[in-house]
């Protein structure tokens, strides 16, 4: 009788917890397997071998989503805020620098003991001369990173990487009221893409920039424009590295993101900061009401905020190169904007780029 009691209670507790453990272990193991597959793909690309596209099935996406990435990202964010003892800072940061190839000679403060925690180290500022802003071209890179894709938007679809697309409307959400925009002409056409193009003879363009963990984590204004609206999509926090972007269709539509929309001299302009695993925190400097990776998460929802009010009829003016926001670790920035048909990108897919360098011009 006593022996039965001794064994029955623990077995009951394990049985109640087993489904969660199995889910996390299976999802985590599969995520690890995908990381290994991504590594093999990167090695093939370095050797110049073209990798065929293989999209994930619905069950694979569901399994990946079973990993509690939002919870893990919040835990990682809290860990980043923990102040490290002075003697531990240099070993910890040196390991990170070695792992991700960080160039500390560009940092405004090179002394590793200066950074009290990992969060401060991730958000380190650069020396003013480290990133000169191109004054010739009209659109510059808002961040350091790798160019995943760029070009004209076609058929209301945008390429996240070559051969893998996502819906323009799903990514940006329903069109914003024209009362919040400064466009002088009414939108033309019936499709969502045509509604965003406000001037005759213009086209819609896009550019996707992936920020690796070792990159500079702040992002800046890519041109002179006015931000009139912010839309926040709570969502998943799956990895956005190129291997996963090649594997999961509409990855950027699944993940949490902050869409800033407004206008520049040629019409519609938008910048979207896409969250990722361990990047639950997206900060926009002029938007104190924005709170990302909140525990209250409603799938498929979004919330809007207008920067146009009775006291501010214009919105938030941004100058090219001006500080705009920051990530915690790396992530992705997507630019979608309107420009004349003769707009040309000065880029190659897969190239590394730094903040301030030219993306394109007329």
pLDDT at 188: 55
Percent of residues, the chain, with pLDDT higher than 70:
80
Predicted confidence (pLDDT) at residue 247 exceeds the cutoff of 60? yes
Say how many Å lie between the first and final Cα of the chain, rounded. Answer: 85
88 within some domain: no
Mean pLDDT to the nearest integer, 88-101: 90
Q: What share of the chain is helix, strand, coil (3-state, %, to 5)?
A: 30, 25, 40
| SS3 state of residue 62 | helix
The whole-model pTM stands at: 0.81
Which has more pLDDT, 65 or 31? 65
| SS3 state of residue 205 | strand
pLDDT at 40: 64
Beta pairing partners, 151: 206
* Cβ–Cβ < 8 Å for 278, 329: yes
pLDDT at 63: 82
Phi, psi of 361 (to 5 degrees): -165, 175
pLDDT band at 251, cuts 50/70/90? confident
Q: Rounded to whole angstroms, how far apart are CA atoms 64 and 29?
A: 9
Digit-coded pLDDT (tens) for 277-302: 776 688 999 998 888 887 776 667 88
279 within some domain: yes
pLDDT band at 7, cuts 50/70/90? very low
303 within some domain: yes
pLDDT at 155: 87
355 within some domain: yes
Structural domain range at position 146: 139-174+192-361
Domain count for the chain: 1
Predicted confidence (pLDDT) at residue 142 exceeds the cutoff of 90? yes
Digit-coded pLDDT (tens) for 37-91: 556 666 666 666 655 666 777 888 888 877 777 787 778 778 888 899 999 999 9
306 within some domain: yes
Q: What's the number of CA atoms in the CB half-sphere (13 Å) around residue 88?
A: 7
Predicted confidence (pLDDT) at residue 17 exceeds the cutoff of 50? no
Which has more pLDDT, 95 or 3? 95
Place of tokens 């400064």: 182
pLDDT band at 269, cuts 50/70/90? very high
pLDDT at 255: 87
128 within some domain: no
Predicted confidence (pLDDT) at residue 23 exceeds the cutoff of 50? no
Contacts of 250 (CB under 8 A, 6+ apart): 160, 165, 166, 167, 170
208 within some domain: yes
Mean pLDDT to the nearest integer, 21-37: 51
Digit-coded pLDDT (tens) for 192-217: 888 899 888 899 999 999 998 888 88
253 within some domain: yes
Mean of pLDDT over the chain: 81
Contacts of 260 (CB under 8 A, 6+ apart): 227, 229, 230, 270, 271, 272, 273, 284
Beta pairing partners, 159: 165
Sheet of 323-327, strand order? 218-220, 323-327, 282-284
Q: Which residues are identified as catalytic?
A: 144, 220, 331
Digit-coded pLDDT (tens) for 151-180: 999 888 888 777 788 889 999 998 876 555
pLDDT at 50: 58
pLDDT at 24: 47
pLDDT band at 331, cuts 50/70/90? confident
Mean pLDDT to the nearest integer, 242-252: 81
Among 213, 299, 193, which Cα is nearest to 256's? 299
Name the token pair of 261. 């929309």
* Cβ–Cβ < 8 Å for 325, 219: yes
């Amino acid at each position: 009788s006593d022996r039965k009691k001794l064994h029955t209670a623990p077995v009951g507790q394990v049985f109640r917890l087993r489904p969660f453990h199995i889910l996390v272990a299976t999802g985590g193991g599969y995520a690890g397997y995908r990381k290994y597959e991504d590594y093999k793909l990167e090695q093939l690309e370095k050797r110049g071998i073209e990798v065929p596209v293989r999209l994930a099935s619905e069950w694979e996406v569901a399994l990946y989503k079973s990993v509690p990435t939002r919870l893990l990202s919040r835990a990682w964010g809290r860990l980043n805020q923990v102040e490290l003892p002075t003697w531990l800072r240099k070993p910890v940061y040196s390991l990170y620098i070695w792992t991700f190839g960080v160039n500390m000679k560009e940092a405004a403060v090179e002394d590793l003991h200066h950074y009290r925690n990992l969060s401060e180290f991730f958000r380190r500022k650069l020396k003013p001369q480290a990133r000169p802003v191109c004054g010739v071209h009209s659109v510059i890179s808002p961040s350091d990173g790798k160019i995943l894709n760029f070009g004209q938007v076609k058929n209301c679809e945008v390429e996240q990487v070559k051969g893998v697309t996502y819906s323009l409307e799903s990514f940006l959400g329903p069109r914003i009221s024209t009362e919040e925009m400064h466009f002088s002409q009414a939108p033309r056409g019936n499709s969502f893409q045509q509604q965003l193009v406000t001037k005759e003879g213009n086209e819609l363009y896009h550019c996707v920039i992936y920020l690796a963990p070792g990159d500079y984590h702040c992002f800046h204004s890519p041109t002179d424009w006015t931000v009139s609206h912010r839309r926040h999509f709570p969502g998943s926090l799956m990895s956005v590295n190129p291997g996963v972007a090649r594997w999961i269709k509409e990855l950027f539509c699944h993940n949490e993101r902050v869409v800033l929309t407004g206008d520049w001299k040629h019409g519609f302009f938008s910048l979207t900061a896409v969250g990722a695993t361990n990047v639950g925190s997206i900060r926009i400097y002029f938007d104190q009401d924005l709170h990302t990776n909140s525990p209250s998460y409603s799938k498929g929802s979004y919330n809007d905020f207008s920067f146009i009010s009775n006291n501010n009829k214009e919105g938030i003016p941004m100058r090219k190169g001006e500080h705009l926001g920051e990530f915690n670790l790396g992530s992705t920035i997507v630019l979608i904007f309107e420009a004349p048909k003769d707009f040309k990108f000065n880029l190659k897919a897969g190239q590394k780029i730094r903040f301030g360098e030219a993306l394109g011009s007329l």
